[in-house]
A = this chain, B = another copy of it.
Amino acid sequence: MGQIIKGKPVADAISAALAEEVKGLKVKGITPKLTIVRVGANGSDLAYERGALKRCQEIGIETEVKELPVDISQDDFITELKKVNEDKATNGILVFRPFPKQLDESVIKYVIAPEKDVDCFSPVNVAKVMESDVTGFAPCTPSAVIEILKHYEVPMKGKNAVVVGRSMVVGKPVSMLLLNENATVTICHSRTADMPAVCSEADILVVGIGKAKMIDSKYVKDGAAVIDVGINVDAEGKLCGDVNTDDCVEKASMITPVPAGVGSVTTSILAKHVVKACKQQNNL
């Protein structure tokens, strides 16, 4: 019987270390600041925003929310984003996506200042993730996966890591980050011929495929660490991940729950990236 590994202790450890770091920065007269750019007011953006603001405030990071009208034009949005880019007080920028239809993400992603882009919206940061350039910012969710594995002392070097899903928000970046930790990385997806066979070779199984409880115990090797990045709603209307936790916990050595798993760590990563951006911008 494996251990359910929650996100909160990881988030708390990261936050505590950041709070110390921010104290040190304030002594030097520097206060890190996150500006959130939100178009309209959809529920999931607002929920994440509340969590992010609370986390930053705990740590001592200043915050600002720029709410823009849901029907803002592309030109006006770009003008507003450029103002945030140029705002000297702002070190990190989080832009909520997806956008309403009139805004073209494939254009806007080139506008955000890469050095303030704390959630890997800019192609410059995408390239840095692929190149293992530590000055860049990986997206918060895949970074949270790595922090959880490190916190619970799951060895990665030389281990078989299997990533289920090849999205740009989870699968591909987490594969690159696992590779940086010297894991042997396999990426599988909907077209993989025998996914249970591939997954059950994994010492570390990271799942982000967007299908409720798809991964059951036949995908899991005895003693594997299972990280569930999915967020779905099950038939009873309850939140659940991509992994059938009850079924897999028997074989896994460790498994993250949903809710209270990876999702609880992302705002701490966001805060960590803001502090990193602030230090880089101040040549510290």
Interface window among A37-45, A66-74, A187-195, A232-240 = A187-195
Asked if A159 lies at the interface with its beta carbon under 8 angstroms from chain B, I say yes
Instruction: Determine whether A246 belongs to the interface, using a CB cutoff of 8 Å to chain B.
Output: no
Which residues of the partner chain B approach A123 to less than 8 Å between Cβ atoms?
A: 123-124, 126-128, 131
Q: Whose C-beta in chain B lies nearest to the C-beta of A190?
A: B182
Interchain nearest-CB distance for A100 vs B (Å): 21
The contact of A192 among B127, B158, B188, B189, by CB within 8 Å, is B158
A36 to chain B, nearest CB (A): 23
Q: Which residues of B contact A184 (CB under 8 A)?
A: 186-189, 191-193, 198
Which residue of B128, B176, B182 contacts A172 across the interface (Cβ within 8 Å)? B176
Main secondary structure of the interface of A (DSSP, over half): mixed
- Interface check A157, CB cutoff 8 A: yes
> Complex: how many Å from CA A255 to CA B241?
42
State which size class the interface on A falls in.
Answer: 20 to 34
| A279 on the B face (CB < 8 A) | no
Asked whether any CB of chain B lies closer than 8 Å to the CB of A179, the reply is yes
CB-nearest residue of chain B relative to A106?
A: B133
Max chain B C-beta neighbours (<10 A), residue from A127, A158, A198: A127
Cβ B179 vs Cβ A166 within 8 A = yes
What are some 24 contacts across the A-B interface (CB < 8 A)?
Answer: A110-B124, A123-B123, A123-B124, A123-B126, A123-B127, A124-B127, A126-B127, A126-B130, A127-B130, A130-B168, A130-B172, A157-B191, A158-B191, A159-B193, A160-B193, A172-B179, A184-B186, A184-B187, A184-B188, A184-B189, A184-B192, A184-B198, A185-B187, A186-B186
| Chain B positions within 8 Å of A193 at CB level | 158-160, 184
Contacts A130-B172, A160-B193, A184-B198 aside, 7 further interface pairs with beta carbons under 8 A come to A123-B126, A126-B130, A130-B168, A172-B176, A184-B193, A186-B186, A186-B187
Q: Taking the nearest CB of chain B, how far is it from the CB of A161, in angstroms?
A: 10
Q: Give the complex CA separation of A128 and B172 in angstroms.
A: 12
Contacts of A130 in B (CB 8 A): 126-127, 129-130, 168, 172
Smallest Cβ-Cβ distance to A180: which chain B residue: B166
Cβ-closest chain B residue relative to A128: B123
Which positions 127-181 of chain A face chain B at CB distance < 8 Å?
A: 127-131, 157-160, 166, 168, 172, 175-176, 179
